[in-house]
Structure 1
Amino acid sequence: MNNQIFSLQPFPSTKSLPNLKITGNISRNANQLAIYYSLGGDLKEIAISSPSNAPSRKYELWEDTCFEFFLGIKDSQRYWEFNLSPAGHWNVYRFDGYRQGMQEEIAFEKLPFSVQNQTDALVLALDVDLDKIISANQEIEIGITTVIKYRVGEVTYWALTHRGVEADFHRRDSFIVKL
Protein backbone atom coordinates (compact mmCIF):
# COMPACT_ATOMS: atom_id res chain seq x y z
CA MET A 1 0.00 0.00 0.00
CA ASN A 2 1.19 3.49 -0.87
CA ASN A 3 0.02 6.25 1.51
CA GLN A 4 0.87 9.94 1.17
CA ILE A 5 -0.16 12.98 3.18
CA PHE A 6 -0.88 16.30 1.50
CA SER A 7 -1.45 19.97 2.16
CA LEU A 8 -3.12 22.16 -0.48
CA GLN A 9 -2.09 25.71 -1.29
CA PRO A 10 -4.37 28.48 -2.58
CA PHE A 11 -3.68 30.01 -5.96
CA PRO A 12 -1.82 33.27 -5.21
CA SER A 13 -4.10 36.26 -4.70
CA THR A 14 -3.78 39.83 -3.50
CA LYS A 15 -7.13 39.61 -1.69
CA SER A 16 -7.31 38.97 2.03
CA LEU A 17 -9.44 35.89 2.70
CA PRO A 18 -10.30 33.87 5.84
CA ASN A 19 -7.64 31.65 7.33
CA LEU A 20 -8.05 28.08 6.04
CA LYS A 21 -6.04 24.90 5.91
CA ILE A 22 -6.76 21.92 3.61
CA THR A 23 -4.86 18.74 4.43
CA GLY A 24 -5.38 15.03 4.05
CA ASN A 25 -3.99 11.76 2.83
CA ILE A 26 -4.36 9.52 -0.17
CA SER A 27 -3.54 5.84 -0.54
CA ARG A 28 -3.84 3.03 -3.02
CA ASN A 29 -4.04 -0.63 -2.10
CA ALA A 30 -4.16 -2.72 -5.30
CA ASN A 31 -6.92 -0.84 -7.14
CA GLN A 32 -8.68 0.58 -4.10
CA LEU A 33 -8.13 4.34 -3.81
CA ALA A 34 -8.82 6.13 -0.53
CA ILE A 35 -8.64 9.91 -0.13
CA TYR A 36 -9.33 11.92 2.99
CA TYR A 37 -9.66 15.73 3.06
CA SER A 38 -9.81 17.94 6.15
CA LEU A 39 -10.84 21.58 5.73
CA GLY A 40 -10.07 23.55 8.87
CA GLY A 41 -10.03 27.20 9.88
CA ASP A 42 -12.61 29.95 9.71
CA LEU A 43 -15.40 27.75 8.28
CA LYS A 44 -18.22 30.18 9.07
CA GLU A 45 -16.92 32.33 6.18
CA ILE A 46 -17.29 29.49 3.66
CA ALA A 47 -20.39 28.62 1.64
CA ILE A 48 -20.89 24.95 2.45
CA SER A 49 -23.94 23.16 1.05
CA SER A 50 -26.10 21.37 3.60
CA PRO A 51 -26.14 17.57 3.40
CA SER A 52 -28.67 16.27 0.88
CA ASN A 53 -31.19 13.60 1.76
CA ALA A 54 -30.79 12.26 -1.77
CA PRO A 55 -27.16 12.67 -2.90
CA SER A 56 -26.80 12.17 -6.64
CA ARG A 57 -24.67 12.81 -9.71
CA LYS A 58 -24.75 16.54 -10.44
CA TYR A 59 -23.12 18.84 -12.95
CA GLU A 60 -20.89 21.86 -12.38
CA LEU A 61 -20.21 21.14 -8.72
CA TRP A 62 -17.02 23.20 -9.07
CA GLU A 63 -19.14 26.38 -9.07
CA ASP A 64 -19.47 25.96 -5.29
CA THR A 65 -17.26 24.56 -2.53
CA CYS A 66 -16.12 21.23 -3.96
CA PHE A 67 -13.38 18.71 -3.20
CA GLU A 68 -11.75 17.34 -6.35
CA PHE A 69 -8.97 15.19 -7.64
CA PHE A 70 -7.66 14.45 -11.10
CA LEU A 71 -6.42 10.96 -11.91
CA GLY A 72 -4.28 10.15 -14.94
CA ILE A 73 -2.58 7.00 -16.13
CA LYS A 74 1.20 7.39 -16.38
CA ASP A 75 2.33 7.91 -20.00
CA SER A 76 -1.25 8.40 -21.22
CA GLN A 77 -3.08 11.62 -22.01
CA ARG A 78 -6.40 10.25 -20.71
CA TYR A 79 -7.48 11.40 -17.26
CA TRP A 80 -10.52 11.65 -14.98
CA GLU A 81 -11.89 14.48 -12.86
CA PHE A 82 -13.68 13.50 -9.62
CA ASN A 83 -15.96 16.14 -8.01
CA LEU A 84 -17.26 15.66 -4.44
CA SER A 85 -19.68 18.15 -2.87
CA PRO A 86 -20.05 18.60 0.90
CA ALA A 87 -23.79 18.07 0.23
CA GLY A 88 -23.04 14.50 -0.91
CA HIS A 89 -23.45 15.14 -4.64
CA TRP A 90 -20.74 13.93 -6.99
CA ASN A 91 -19.61 13.47 -10.58
CA VAL A 92 -16.77 11.92 -12.56
CA TYR A 93 -15.65 13.13 -16.00
CA ARG A 94 -13.29 11.43 -18.46
CA PHE A 95 -11.00 13.42 -20.74
CA ASP A 96 -9.08 12.13 -23.77
CA GLY A 97 -6.39 14.81 -23.36
CA TYR A 98 -5.89 18.24 -21.84
CA ARG A 99 -9.46 19.61 -21.57
CA GLN A 100 -10.38 17.49 -24.63
CA GLY A 101 -13.27 15.06 -25.12
CA MET A 102 -14.95 15.67 -21.76
CA GLN A 103 -17.59 13.01 -21.07
CA GLU A 104 -19.40 11.93 -17.97
CA GLU A 105 -17.75 8.68 -16.83
CA ILE A 106 -20.66 6.21 -16.80
CA ALA A 107 -18.56 3.41 -15.26
CA PHE A 108 -19.48 4.89 -11.88
CA GLU A 109 -23.12 4.78 -10.78
CA LYS A 110 -22.26 6.22 -7.35
CA LEU A 111 -19.24 7.26 -5.31
CA PRO A 112 -18.91 5.93 -1.75
CA PHE A 113 -17.88 8.98 0.26
CA SER A 114 -18.80 10.48 3.60
CA VAL A 115 -18.85 14.05 4.87
CA GLN A 116 -18.61 15.03 8.52
CA ASN A 117 -19.13 18.58 9.69
CA GLN A 118 -17.09 18.60 12.91
CA THR A 119 -16.69 21.50 15.34
CA ASP A 120 -13.44 22.73 13.85
CA ALA A 121 -13.26 20.99 10.48
CA LEU A 122 -15.16 19.66 7.52
CA VAL A 123 -13.96 16.14 6.73
CA LEU A 124 -14.59 14.22 3.52
CA ALA A 125 -13.50 10.62 2.94
CA LEU A 126 -13.80 8.59 -0.27
CA ASP A 127 -12.95 4.93 -0.80
CA VAL A 128 -13.39 3.89 -4.42
CA ASP A 129 -12.57 0.82 -6.51
CA LEU A 130 -10.81 1.91 -9.70
CA ASP A 131 -11.29 -1.47 -11.46
CA LYS A 132 -14.02 0.07 -13.63
CA ILE A 133 -11.59 2.48 -15.31
CA ILE A 134 -8.01 1.19 -14.90
CA SER A 135 -6.16 -2.00 -14.07
CA ALA A 136 -4.37 -2.49 -10.75
CA ASN A 137 -0.95 -2.69 -12.42
CA GLN A 138 -1.21 0.74 -14.05
CA GLU A 139 0.72 3.52 -12.34
CA ILE A 140 -1.42 6.59 -11.72
CA GLU A 141 -0.65 10.28 -11.29
CA ILE A 142 -2.98 12.44 -9.23
CA GLY A 143 -3.63 16.13 -8.77
CA ILE A 144 -5.50 16.92 -5.55
CA THR A 145 -7.58 20.10 -5.57
CA THR A 146 -10.40 21.98 -3.88
CA VAL A 147 -12.61 24.88 -4.86
CA ILE A 148 -13.62 27.08 -1.94
CA LYS A 149 -16.52 29.50 -2.31
CA TYR A 150 -16.84 32.13 0.38
CA ARG A 151 -20.14 33.53 1.66
CA VAL A 152 -19.14 36.92 0.19
CA GLY A 153 -19.02 35.26 -3.26
CA GLU A 154 -15.25 35.12 -3.70
CA VAL A 155 -13.84 31.79 -4.99
CA THR A 156 -10.37 30.41 -4.32
CA TYR A 157 -8.64 27.47 -5.99
CA TRP A 158 -6.48 25.14 -3.91
CA ALA A 159 -4.06 22.49 -5.21
CA LEU A 160 -0.88 20.62 -4.36
CA THR A 161 0.92 22.92 -6.78
CA HIS A 162 0.00 25.67 -9.22
CA ARG A 163 2.10 25.43 -12.39
CA GLY A 164 0.45 28.07 -14.60
CA VAL A 165 -0.25 31.79 -14.60
CA GLU A 166 -3.92 30.98 -13.91
CA ALA A 167 -5.48 28.39 -11.63
CA ASP A 168 -5.80 25.31 -13.88
CA PHE A 169 -6.38 21.94 -12.24
CA HIS A 170 -6.23 20.12 -15.60
CA ARG A 171 -2.49 20.66 -16.18
CA ARG A 172 -0.82 17.24 -16.16
CA ASP A 173 2.38 18.69 -14.69
CA SER A 174 0.34 19.32 -11.53
CA PHE A 175 -0.60 15.63 -11.16
CA ILE A 176 2.33 15.15 -8.78
CA VAL A 177 1.16 12.30 -6.53
CA LYS A 178 2.37 8.97 -7.94
CA LEU A 179 0.56 5.80 -6.82
Structure 2
Amino acid sequence: MVAEVLWLETGLLELTFNLQANHESNALKNLKASPGSELSEERQDNLWKHTCFEAFFARPDSEQYWELNVAPSGHWNLYHFDAYRSGGREEPEAVTPTTTWKQNDRECCCGITLNLAPWWTEPRLPELAITAVLETSTGALSYWALQHPGDKPDFHDRRSFLQW
Protein backbone atom coordinates (compact mmCIF):
# COMPACT_ATOMS: atom_id res chain seq x y z
CA MET A 1 0.00 0.00 0.00
CA VAL A 2 1.23 3.45 -0.91
CA ALA A 3 -0.40 6.45 0.75
CA GLU A 4 0.00 10.07 -0.21
CA VAL A 5 -0.96 12.98 2.04
CA LEU A 6 -1.31 16.62 1.03
CA TRP A 7 -2.19 19.21 3.68
CA LEU A 8 -3.41 22.53 2.26
CA GLU A 9 -3.44 25.83 4.14
CA THR A 10 -7.14 26.19 3.32
CA GLY A 11 -7.87 23.36 5.76
CA LEU A 12 -8.22 20.65 3.12
CA LEU A 13 -6.49 17.33 3.48
CA GLU A 14 -6.03 15.18 0.38
CA LEU A 15 -5.35 11.48 0.89
CA THR A 16 -4.60 8.95 -1.82
CA PHE A 17 -4.43 5.22 -1.11
CA ASN A 18 -2.93 3.10 -3.88
CA LEU A 19 -2.71 -0.68 -3.84
CA GLN A 20 -0.80 -2.42 -6.61
CA ALA A 21 -0.42 -6.13 -7.24
CA ASN A 22 2.67 -7.55 -8.89
CA HIS A 23 2.21 -9.43 -12.15
CA GLU A 24 2.03 -12.82 -10.39
CA SER A 25 -0.41 -11.85 -7.66
CA ASN A 26 -4.16 -12.41 -7.66
CA ALA A 27 -4.58 -10.32 -4.50
CA LEU A 28 -6.61 -7.51 -6.05
CA LYS A 29 -8.73 -9.88 -8.13
CA ASN A 30 -10.08 -11.23 -4.83
CA LEU A 31 -10.42 -7.87 -3.09
CA LYS A 32 -14.02 -7.24 -2.09
CA ALA A 33 -14.18 -3.55 -2.83
CA SER A 34 -16.19 -2.81 -5.94
CA PRO A 35 -18.14 0.39 -5.31
CA GLY A 36 -20.84 -0.23 -7.88
CA SER A 37 -22.02 2.40 -10.33
CA GLU A 38 -22.56 5.37 -8.00
CA LEU A 39 -20.82 6.41 -4.81
CA SER A 40 -22.94 7.14 -1.76
CA GLU A 41 -22.16 10.14 0.44
CA GLU A 42 -23.95 8.90 3.53
CA ARG A 43 -22.44 8.48 6.97
CA GLN A 44 -22.40 4.89 8.14
CA ASP A 45 -21.02 3.01 11.14
CA ASN A 46 -18.90 -0.16 11.21
CA LEU A 47 -17.19 0.47 7.87
CA TRP A 48 -14.02 -1.09 9.28
CA LYS A 49 -15.72 -4.51 9.23
CA HIS A 50 -15.13 -4.60 5.46
CA THR A 51 -12.77 -2.93 2.98
CA CYS A 52 -12.21 0.55 4.35
CA PHE A 53 -9.53 3.23 4.07
CA GLU A 54 -8.83 5.16 7.24
CA ALA A 55 -6.92 8.11 8.59
CA PHE A 56 -6.36 9.04 12.22
CA PHE A 57 -5.67 12.64 13.25
CA ALA A 58 -4.42 13.62 16.70
CA ARG A 59 -3.77 16.89 18.43
CA PRO A 60 -0.12 17.06 19.44
CA ASP A 61 0.22 17.16 23.22
CA SER A 62 -3.36 15.94 23.72
CA GLU A 63 -5.07 12.58 24.09
CA GLN A 64 -7.83 13.66 21.66
CA TYR A 65 -7.94 12.19 18.17
CA TRP A 66 -10.26 11.63 15.20
CA GLU A 67 -10.83 8.59 13.01
CA LEU A 68 -11.95 8.92 9.38
CA ASN A 69 -13.39 5.83 7.64
CA VAL A 70 -14.18 5.75 3.91
CA ALA A 71 -15.53 2.69 2.10
CA PRO A 72 -15.43 1.96 -1.64
CA SER A 73 -19.20 2.53 -1.66
CA GLY A 74 -18.56 6.17 -0.71
CA HIS A 75 -20.02 5.66 2.77
CA TRP A 76 -17.94 7.46 5.37
CA ASN A 77 -17.78 8.54 8.97
CA LEU A 78 -15.61 10.68 11.21
CA TYR A 79 -15.35 9.92 14.92
CA HIS A 80 -13.92 12.06 17.72
CA PHE A 81 -12.25 10.30 20.67
CA ASP A 82 -11.37 11.96 23.99
CA ALA A 83 -8.57 9.45 24.65
CA TYR A 84 -7.44 5.99 23.52
CA ARG A 85 -10.65 4.22 22.38
CA SER A 86 -12.60 6.36 24.86
CA GLY A 87 -15.57 8.64 24.25
CA GLY A 88 -15.85 7.77 20.56
CA ARG A 89 -18.69 9.63 18.86
CA GLU A 90 -19.51 11.06 15.45
CA GLU A 91 -17.86 14.44 14.84
CA PRO A 92 -20.90 16.74 14.43
CA GLU A 93 -19.00 19.40 12.45
CA ALA A 94 -17.66 16.97 9.85
CA VAL A 95 -18.22 17.83 6.21
CA THR A 96 -18.85 15.02 3.72
CA PRO A 97 -15.52 14.15 2.07
CA THR A 98 -15.11 13.98 -1.69
CA THR A 99 -14.21 10.43 -2.71
CA THR A 100 -12.92 8.87 -5.92
CA TRP A 101 -12.43 5.17 -6.53
CA LYS A 102 -10.74 3.13 -9.26
CA GLN A 103 -10.14 -0.61 -9.31
CA ASN A 104 -8.99 -3.26 -11.75
CA ASP A 105 -7.13 -6.58 -11.43
CA ARG A 106 -3.77 -4.87 -10.84
CA GLU A 107 -4.56 -1.62 -9.05
CA CYS A 108 -6.95 -0.18 -6.50
CA CYS A 109 -6.92 3.56 -5.80
CA CYS A 110 -9.02 5.60 -3.37
CA GLY A 111 -8.78 9.40 -3.27
CA ILE A 112 -10.27 11.38 -0.40
CA THR A 113 -10.48 15.15 0.08
CA LEU A 114 -11.58 16.14 3.56
CA ASN A 115 -12.25 19.66 4.83
CA LEU A 116 -10.77 19.79 8.32
CA ALA A 117 -11.49 23.49 8.87
CA PRO A 118 -14.83 23.12 10.67
CA TRP A 119 -13.41 20.96 13.47
CA TRP A 120 -9.59 21.17 13.29
CA THR A 121 -8.67 24.57 14.68
CA GLU A 122 -5.00 23.90 15.37
CA PRO A 123 -2.53 26.04 13.40
CA ARG A 124 -0.21 23.04 13.15
CA LEU A 125 -0.37 19.67 11.44
CA PRO A 126 -1.99 16.79 13.27
CA GLU A 127 -0.18 13.64 14.17
CA LEU A 128 -1.39 11.25 11.49
CA ALA A 129 -1.85 7.54 10.85
CA ILE A 130 -2.85 6.13 7.46
CA THR A 131 -4.46 2.68 7.54
CA ALA A 132 -6.62 0.26 5.58
CA VAL A 133 -8.75 -2.79 6.21
CA LEU A 134 -8.96 -5.06 3.17
CA GLU A 135 -11.57 -7.77 2.77
CA THR A 136 -11.23 -10.59 0.25
CA SER A 137 -14.13 -12.22 -1.56
CA THR A 138 -13.96 -15.02 1.06
CA GLY A 139 -14.49 -12.53 3.91
CA ALA A 140 -10.89 -12.67 5.19
CA LEU A 141 -9.64 -9.34 6.56
CA SER A 142 -6.12 -7.93 6.55
CA TYR A 143 -4.99 -4.79 8.38
CA TRP A 144 -2.52 -2.37 6.80
CA ALA A 145 -0.67 0.53 8.41
CA LEU A 146 2.69 2.25 8.22
CA GLN A 147 3.56 0.26 11.32
CA HIS A 148 1.96 -2.00 13.92
CA PRO A 149 3.88 -1.24 17.14
CA GLY A 150 2.07 -3.90 19.21
CA ASP A 151 1.62 -7.65 18.90
CA LYS A 152 -1.69 -7.19 17.02
CA PRO A 153 -2.87 -4.47 14.64
CA ASP A 154 -4.33 -1.53 16.58
CA PHE A 155 -4.88 1.54 14.45
CA HIS A 156 -5.73 3.61 17.55
CA ASP A 157 -2.23 3.11 19.03
CA ARG A 158 -0.63 6.58 19.02
CA ARG A 159 2.82 5.03 18.70
CA SER A 160 1.95 4.38 15.04
CA PHE A 161 1.02 8.02 14.28
CA LEU A 162 3.42 10.17 12.27
CA GLN A 163 4.67 13.12 14.26
CA TRP A 164 5.96 16.20 12.47
What's the TM-score once normalised by structure 2's chain length? Answer: 0.88
Q: Which runs of 5+ in 1 are unaligned?
A: 1-21
Distance across 2 between alignment mates of 1:153 and 1:113: 24
2:72 is paired with a residue whose SS is: coil
Shift of 1:165: 1.1
Distance across 1 between alignment mates of 2:133 and 2:12: 25
1:43 alignment partner AA: L
The 4+ residue runs of structure 1 with deviation greater than 6 A are none
Percent identical residues: 32
Contact 1:51 1:88 (C-alpha < 8 Å) held by counterparts: no
2:33 corresponds to 1:53: no
2:37 corresponds to 1:37: no
Shift of 1:109: 4.0
**Which one of the candidate residues 66, 78, 87 is aligned to 1:80?**
66
Contact 2:94 2:116 (C-alpha < 8 Å) held by counterparts: no
CA deviation map 1:4-29 (0-9, x unaligned): xxxxxxxxxxxxxxxxxx11210112
CA deviation map 1:21-71 (0-9, x unaligned): x11210112122111111222311111143363611111000001000101
1:98 is paired with a residue whose SS is: coil
**Which one of the candidate residues 28, 45, 61 is aligned to 2:7?**
28
Distance across 1 between alignment mates of 2:8 and 2:109: 21
Shift of 1:108: 1.6
Distance across 2 between alignment mates of 1:35 and 1:109: 15
Q: 1:177 to 1:49 in 2, by over 3 A?
A: farther
Shift of 1:177: 5.0
Q: Single out whichever of 41-50 and 154-163 deviates more from structure 2.
A: 41-50
Q: Single out whichever of 45-54 and 98-107 deviates more from structure 2.
A: 45-54
Q: Which runs of 5+ in 2 are unaligned?
A: 22-26
Question: Map of 1:1-179 to 2, 5 A cutoff?
Answer: 22-30=1-9, 31-41=11-21, 42-51=27-36, 53=38, 55=40, 56-118=42-104, 120-135=106-121, 137-178=123-164
Contact 1:52 1:87 (C-alpha < 8 Å) held by counterparts: no
Contact 2:80 2:91 (C-alpha < 8 Å) held by counterparts: yes
In the alignment, which residue of structure 2 is the partner of 1:4? none
Structure 1 or 2: larger strand share? Answer: 1
Shift of 1:115: 1.0
Contact 2:35 2:101 (C-alpha < 8 Å) held by counterparts: no
1:24 alignment partner AA: A
Number of residue equivalences:
157
CA deviation map 1:134-162 (0-9, x unaligned): 12513310011000111122111000010
